[in-house]
Structure 1
Amino acid sequence: MSRFAPRDWHPDERPMLPGSPSTPAHPPLVRVAYFLVGALLTLTGGLGNALVTANLVNLQGTLGAYATETNWLPAAFVMTNASMNLLLVKFRQQFGLRAFTELFLVLYALVTFAHLFVGELGSAIAVRAAHGMVGAALSTLGLYYTLQAFPKPVRFRGTVVSLGIAQLPLPLAYIFSSELLQFGEWHGLYVFELGLTLLALACVLALPLPPGDHYKAFRPLDFVTFALFAPGVALLCAGLTFGRVLWWTDAPWVGLALAGSLVLILAAFFVEHTRRTPLLNIRWLTNGSILRLALGMLLVRVVLAEQGVGAVNFMRQVGLNNDQLATLFTVVLLSTIAGIVVAATTTSLQHLLAPQAIALVIMALGAFIDSHATSQTRPEQMYISQGMLGFGGALFLGPLVVSLIGQVIANPGNLISFSVLFSLTQNLGGLIGTSLLGTFQVWREKYHSNVLVEQLSALDPDVIARLQAGSAAFARATTDPAARARLGLSSLAASATREANVLAYDDVFLLIALIASLHALWVFGRGAWLSYVAPPAPAAAPAAPGAKPEPEQVTD
């Protein structure tokens, strides 16, 4: 039985939102314990997908799959993770936090355990999809635990910290996943995650969240909306993932998937727009200020894709693997932690735009530094730039989300809309960033290849000398002069392709710097307008009719 009871609640300790825990005044050591459990839950929820994303190349042999096929693994996770908050918020509201916490942690442990018996791609994709569903619950659970560690006047800083911790799994995966693969290939990754999940379950059972109120929340049309929205988002994720991999115009099913996703998502929005008690408040989601905040969250995910699509793929292009990137991502990890600390200690509710603008400038400078990379660039030359991106990403997201949460607290009926909006911008933003930047890189590589090949002439003394040197390198491999000449020409062509790719990645880094710079100018301009020109902001728009239910309160 929980040690917290409703009669012990002070008015300031009641749950802020339906489905959230109460917030009693905890002793200092209990606050520390809640913070540690919250960090553990957040890392546990993100590490599964991060371990797969960082090791797609290594998992090809284990699963007996082609490179294009392994892309279904992270795609399946995002396809289910992005839309689950449609139901998870109401699950917490109807069945209570204790059932939510224990059920989804046990499910997470069972799904992770199922990974140990996966031996082929089809079953691995199914397990990854299940992982995405239960992983969505852990990110919310980690936030609730982290907020318990902060007193009410600075509780918004807990949101900043939790969002920052959610950015740590990817660098952590690059740091130690190679050792796990050596331990047991695919199974090594998930033996570790299973142990982490069981540890999290033990911590949650030992230190439960304070109870909240709950009431009957689900309505029949909720499941109609979910049946339209979830497949629509899944098709959109598949199209964005494989449009770049299979190429947009070469795979007809990609276009059909994108068109189908548009139809299903619009149908779900139509159903919600006409309901008296909608899951999604379409009027709130299409409000100008909300659209601006959503675009900001989307763009920062595109900018942060520089680390995965840009830096990592660039390093692989010049012949490096995950083992040689561990120190680089240790720098990224430490920089991100530094960004979390700075964001948590400096964020002010009166000045939420300033840290966003500063973070964007830092990320733009980091990407601009990377745009001068050459084929001789190694991780050591990217420590500063990638550290700036990690620091800026941690500094940016927290203040942006805090500004959005204020509107949700004012209108609790918009909680589900906010949860879905945040989940979509983070998941789809990452996919859009990967797809956009990957497509741009391929396009620029073709351009640079054409330019370089046009400059190669058999009459150029430098080209002749390079061909002769390339042929001489194969003198011990073959005595046939014609074969050596062909090998020398092949070596020169490979060098030209490598240089074209390097130049293309430089263009990608420059594009990211441009996006971040333009976004920073927009934030600076927005801040100046609000400070000196715009009248006081009107009160937040009321929730849609019936959006906030009249709860029939029940104690957990």
Structure 2
Amino acid sequence: MSDAAAPAAPVVHPPLPVPRALAYMGAAVMLALSQGLGQGFVSTNIPQIAGDLGITTTQASWLMAAYMIPRASLPLLLIKIRTQYGLRRFAEVGIIAYVVVAFISVWISDFRSAVVVQALSGAAAAPLSTLAFMYMLEPLSPQWKMRLGLPAAMAVMMAGPTLARVVSPALIGDGGLTGIHLTALGMAMVSLMLVFRLPLRPVPHMKVIEPLDFLSFVLVGFGFAGLTIGFVMGPIHDWTDAPWIGALLAGSVASLAVAVAVELNRRAPLLDIRWLVSPAMLHLTATLFLFRLILSEQSAGAPRMFQALGVAPSQMTGLFAIIVAASLGGGLACVAWMRPNRVAVLHLVALLLLAGGAFMDAHATIDTRPEQMILSQVLIGFAGMLFLPPAMMAGLVQALARGPQYLLSFVIVFISTQSLGGVLGSGLFTTFINHRQAAHYATLAEQLATGDPATGQAIAGRIAALADQIPDAALRKVQALGQVAQGAQAQSVVLAYNDAYLLTALIALAAATALVLHLGRDRLALRMAPPTNPDPNP
């Protein structure tokens, strides 16, 4: 957003009394959890949603794509909507829309209407992340906004999708998804009450929306939508099995290119492309995308591996509860240690913890269960929160260097890119898993076909174990071969995830090495710089 499209100076409000300040921060927690749990309920319960609607899991995956498309693109338009209509109206309209969609979701019973409602849910949830930030920052003094408000908001927002895995089994029970929908509706109604009971203090607003904003938004929205659909459905269809995916991705890139061309030639653009492609912002964007890619190990790794091994969701609730606690612990660590001059050190520690946790996970077997991955997942969850708030603080410092009006703009762009980055990271992670699983299974199947001695012993052991159950020798052999083949399938899954975990650890170590070299270069350049003579008359 350009300087011409925003207020010239921020409004400084007096501090709120402590009880009211705590109320605003509590409202921020409720808004963040409403959005995070809403997203987590969709991604966590795809198989249950498919069964409830009578569709396949492939069809149900479209619901996740429908939800994430507006979550990625709509925040871009919200920059100017907030500026033109003000924070209070922005908050009230946004939360009313969220409650209405949550109410409609309770009555959905067919696939087509579910896709439409999920798209509306994503659109209605888009303002909630921004509102959570604003409510958390509203009562804090300027010096505490970044030190306390930023880590606290990020910790709760990141904990939401994981917390959904903790509460979903209890909410589903034997009653299907009704408990999930009613919980989302209840939290939305509580959020509605809080927004109206605790209004955001007004700031100056002005007319900034222009007709070309909608053209840019449509182009960016189509580009983000194509990327989201491609990276959600691509791994499911093995990419090349569905030619339309390639065409859609090509069209998305072309649409984004046209949007960039339009924005570069505008006086008051929807996005300040020149600022976003500056070296500092490109470095920050690459850092954040790398983080999302590495953290896919936790969101798309362990849960799906355990699901493939037949572990029920209720058996994983303890692990995910501990991950939530570790994430909140990382947020508290940021409150205590985060300073602008410590960002690089915190990132280095986070990358080393991520590498250590992923390397520990790379030794999983078909007998591994959630309790055996607690320590590694705690390291990854803690590291995730140790990484993200300092990175966001660095971006906010750069935004504020251009002017205070860039603060909210950066927050919204950050939320949008993180949503898209999460989808891309999960898609790449799943694609790697699928290819490695096929390769491992082909190797194991070849051992079965060539009469490998170890495989022969395994088959003989299975036949002997089935002797009391199946009298017919031919049937025993067929059953034993089937069990060995099934075991080979499970083994190939675990080996594929181990490869992905190891790759994640290597990427984190490579990033940590690059960071150390970068810090060493900066320190060397500082030492070699000629000394400056202080001005005797400052």
TM-score bin (small chain): over 0.9
Tell me which amino acid in the other structure corresponds to 2:267: R
Q: Do the aligned partners of residues 454 and 28 (structure 1) sit closer, same or farther apart at CA in structure 2, a change above 3 Å counting?
A: same
* 1:59 paired to 2:49: yes
SS of residue paired to 1:26: coil
> Normalised by the size of structure 2, how large is the TM-score?
0.92
Aligned 1:315-464 pairs, distance under 5 A: 315-412=306-403, 414=406, 418-419=410-411, 421-456=413-448, 460-464=452-456
Alpha-carbon separation, structure 1, partners of 2:263 and 2:409: 11
Deviation at 1:183, TM superposition (A): 5.9
Is the 2:152–2:331 contact (alpha carbons within 8 Å) kept by the matching residues of 1? yes
Deviation at 1:476, TM superposition (A): 6.3
Q: 1:216 aligns with which of 200, 207, 211?
A: 207
Alpha-carbon separation, structure 1, partners of 2:468 and 2:26: 61
Aligned 1:82-121 pairs, distance under 5 A: 82-121=72-111
1:284-319 Cα distance to aligned partner (Å, 9 max, x none) = 111111111001111111111111221011111221
1:378-430 Cα distance to aligned partner (Å, 9 max, x none) = 11110000001110001110010111111212224656763454134311211
* 1:486 paired to 2:478: yes
Tell me which amino acid in the other structure corresponds to 1:107: A
- Partner in structure 2 of residue 171 of structure 1: 162
Higher mean alpha-carbon deviation, 472-481 vs 320-329, is at 472-481
- Partner in structure 1 of residue 509 of structure 2: 517
Deviation at 1:519, TM superposition (A): 1.7
Is the 2:129–2:415 contact (alpha carbons within 8 Å) kept by the matching residues of 1? no
Tell me which amino acid in the other structure corresponds to 1:507: D
SS of residue paired to 1:533: helix
Q: Do the aligned partners of residues 69 and 114 (structure 1) sit closer, same or farther apart at CA in structure 2, a change above 3 Å counting?
A: same
Aligned 1:284-303 pairs, distance under 5 A: 284-303=275-294
- Partner in structure 1 of residue 15 of structure 2: 25
Is the 1:44–1:197 contact (alpha carbons within 8 Å) kept by the matching residues of 2? yes
Tell me which amino acid in the other structure corresponds to 1:220: P
Alpha-carbon separation, structure 2, partners of 1:244 and 1:228: 25
- Partner in structure 1 of residue 534 of structure 2: none
- Partner in structure 1 of residue 532 of structure 2: none
Alpha-carbon separation, structure 2, partners of 1:434 and 1:386: 17
Alpha-carbon separation, structure 1, partners of 2:143 and 2:412: 27
- Percent of aligned pairs with the same amino acid: 35
Alpha-carbon separation, structure 2, partners of 1:124 and 1:168: 25
Alpha-carbon separation, structure 2, partners of 1:248 and 1:183: 36
Alpha-carbon separation, structure 1, partners of 2:266 and 2:341: 36
Q: Do the aligned partners of residues 536 and 142 (structure 1) sit closer, same or farther apart at CA in structure 2, a change above 3 Å counting?
A: farther
- Partner in structure 2 of residue 528 of structure 1: 520
Q: Do the aligned partners of residues 494 and 18 (structure 1) sit closer, same or farther apart at CA in structure 2, a change above 3 Å counting?
A: farther
RMSD: 2.2
Q: Do the aligned partners of residues 382 and 17 (structure 1) sit closer, same or farther apart at CA in structure 2, a change above 3 Å counting?
A: farther
Aligned 1:195-344 pairs, distance under 5 A: 195-344=186-335
Alpha-carbon separation, structure 2, partners of 1:371 and 1:20: 49
- Partner in structure 2 of residue 145 of structure 1: 135
Q: Do the aligned partners of residues 270 and 22 (structure 1) sit closer, same or farther apart at CA in structure 2, a change above 3 Å counting?
A: same
SS of residue paired to 1:439: helix
Q: Do the aligned partners of residues 58 and 22 (structure 1) sit closer, same or farther apart at CA in structure 2, a change above 3 Å counting?
A: farther
Q: Do the aligned partners of residues 535 and 323 (structure 1) sit closer, same or farther apart at CA in structure 2, a change above 3 Å counting?
A: same
* 1:186 paired to 2:186: no
- Partner in structure 2 of residue 541 of structure 1: none
Q: Which runs of 5+ in 2 are unaligned?
A: 1-5, 530-538
1:348-392 Cα distance to aligned partner (Å, 9 max, x none) = 122221111111111111011100111111111100000011100
Tell me which amino acid in the other structure corresponds to 1:232: G
Deviation at 1:49, TM superposition (A): 1.0
Tell me which amino acid in the other structure corresponds to 1:191: L
- Partner in structure 2 of residue 75 of structure 1: 65
SS of residue paired to 1:244: coil
Deviation at 1:112, TM superposition (A): 0.5
Q: Do the aligned partners of residues 379 and 414 (structure 1) sit closer, same or farther apart at CA in structure 2, a change above 3 Å counting?
A: same
Q: Do the aligned partners of residues 480 and 188 (structure 1) sit closer, same or farther apart at CA in structure 2, a change above 3 Å counting?
A: same
Is the 1:294–1:421 contact (alpha carbons within 8 Å) kept by the matching residues of 2? no
SS of residue paired to 2:171: helix
Is the 1:285–1:291 contact (alpha carbons within 8 Å) kept by the matching residues of 2? yes
Q: Do the aligned partners of residues 325 and 224 (structure 1) sit closer, same or farther apart at CA in structure 2, a change above 3 Å counting?
A: same
* 1:134 paired to 2:127: no
Is the 2:7–2:204 contact (alpha carbons within 8 Å) kept by the matching residues of 1? no
1:499-528 Cα distance to aligned partner (Å, 9 max, x none) = 111111100001111111122222333333
Alpha-carbon separation, structure 1, partners of 2:297 and 2:453: 39
Q: Which runs of 5+ in 1 are unaligned?
A: 1-15, 538-556
Q: 1:499 aligns with which of 491, 500, 525?
A: 491
Tell me which amino acid in the other structure corresponds to 1:152: P
Is the 1:21–1:210 contact (alpha carbons within 8 Å) kept by the matching residues of 2? no
Alpha-carbon separation, structure 2, partners of 1:146 and 1:301: 24
* 1:466 paired to 2:463: no
Is the 2:130–2:411 contact (alpha carbons within 8 Å) kept by the matching residues of 1? no
1:420-478 Cα distance to aligned partner (Å, 9 max, x none) = 54134311211121111111111111222233233346655543332233335555665
Is the 1:280–1:416 contact (alpha carbons within 8 Å) kept by the matching residues of 2? no
SS of residue paired to 1:71: helix
Deviation at 1:493, TM superposition (A): 1.0
Tell me which amino acid in the other structure corresponds to 1:164: A
